[in-house]
Amino acid sequence: MKEFLEGSMAVAKVVQLCKPGVISAYPITPQTHIVEELAQIVADGHLNAQFVNVESEHSAASVVLGAEAAGVRSYTATSSQGLLLMAEVVFNIAGMRLPVVMTTAVRAISAPINIWNDHQDAVSLRDAGWIQLHAEDIQEAVDLHLIAYKLGENKSIMLPVMVCMDGFLLTHGVETVNIPSQEEVDKFLPPYKAPYKLDVENPMTLGPLVDPESYMEARFALNETHKEALQLIPKITADFAKIFGRTYNGLIEGYQLKDAERVIVAMGSVCGTIKEVIDELRKKGKKIGLLKVTSLRPFPANEIYEALKNTPKVAVVDRALSVGSFAPLAAEIKASFFGKTKKPKVISSFILGLGGRDITKDSIKEILRLMTSKERQGEFIDLKQELLKENYENAV
């Protein structure tokens, strides 16, 4: 059913349809609307779930870890500092092979403290072992939650999945969204049957001490599973399309790629702005395109290679830093072409939209202007030069 909804409301509704038995969260802007709505849904008796109000994100993640270990589908959501506080548990959940689904309302990291959107929180946890999917708009955010449960709970995967949606831009934005029916969701996502769990009828030890004799194999297996997920994601999105009628690749998506001479690579809601610029400039004969990365983990390097191997000029938009090194997404895009004979002549890297700095169509056009034969390395767009001249020695 089509509804005009705030992103957080839409996500709460789709989580309700996925029927988690345990929900636990701690408030942090801009995640709060999602969990407030779920608390109301539970309070109104529309969802049979235990809603556990905890004293920190560390405990929110630990509660859903425990619930999943007891064999019950569960859900949490966080953002920014909250994600960093639960980081230890986030790694643990992946290592314990528990298919938690979490929404990250993607937000900047302190200091300076800033509640607005960039990708630093989620990107900083890219090595935690979770599958990490980034939504472009509210509809995709809704649909990725369904895909997340289906994927994470697959017996050959058994991994947690983080659905990232840009804080405020998507969590508080309002769009027309297609919310599926319970029948459709039930058809796509059957009740969760855990292959292993804490069960007094069949006692087992979870989370044992593993010494150098076996640790490597456990981590190897985790890494291999991400390779399997690369194969499985397009199959799941194909199943999704059959039931819900919306088509996603789930790994990457191209827009006007076919004859594009210049392609911008990006994640999240900025892709919408880039598409608008493409539409505008295509009318003037400019051959430009977009490659959207939906799945940051597993990273679809081969798919990216195939999509861009004949593109002359590529620019990567990063909304996060790997301070002291290459921008995180740009580094991985470049690595996808390492040692290949076919590759773009130029892969430039741009940083923009940190801490909620607006990314306008002009920001994108500036990138296009800078996509020359000269390779740009981590160049900041929309920097205020006048602020950079300030010196603490002059501070009163």
Q: Whole-number minimum distance, CB 20 to other proteins, in Å? A: 9
- Specify the residue, 200 or 395, whose C-beta has the smaller distance to other proteins: 200
- Specify the residue, 127 or 213, whose C-beta has the smaller distance to other proteins: 213
**Cα 86 to chain centroid, rounded:** 16
Q: Whole-number minimum distance, CB 59 to other proteins, in Å? A: 4
- Specify the residue, 55 or 393, whose C-beta has the smaller distance to other proteins: 55
- Stated length of the chain: 396
Q: How far apart are CA 139 and CA 221, in angstroms?
A: 33
Q: Whole-number minimum distance, CB 68 to other proteins, in Å? A: 8
Q: Whole-number minimum distance, CB 311 to other proteins, in Å? A: 45
Structural tokens at position 136: 């472009």
- CA dihedral (103, 105, 108, 111) positive or negative: negative
Per CB under 8 A, residues contacting other proteins are 21-22, 24, 48-50, 52-56, 58-59, 62-72, 74, 88-89, 92, 96, 198-200, 202-211, 214
- Specify the residue, 68 or 253, whose C-beta has the smaller distance to other proteins: 68
Distances (CA, A) of 270 to 124, 170, 202, 364: 19, 11, 49, 9
Compute how many other C-beta atoms are within 10 angstroms of the C-beta atom of residue 392: 5
- Specify the residue, 4 or 215, whose C-beta has the smaller distance to other proteins: 215
CA within 13 Å, CB half, 89 = 20
Per DSSP, the residues of 224-275 read HHHHHHHHHHHHHHHHHHHHH-----SSEEEES-TT-SEEEEE-TTHHHHHH
- Specify the residue, 91 or 305, whose C-beta has the smaller distance to other proteins: 91
Q: Whole-number minimum distance, CB 213 to other proteins, in Å? A: 8
Instruction: State the amino acid at position 258 in one-letter form.
Output: K
Q: Whole-number minimum distance, CB 307 to other proteins, in Å? A: 40
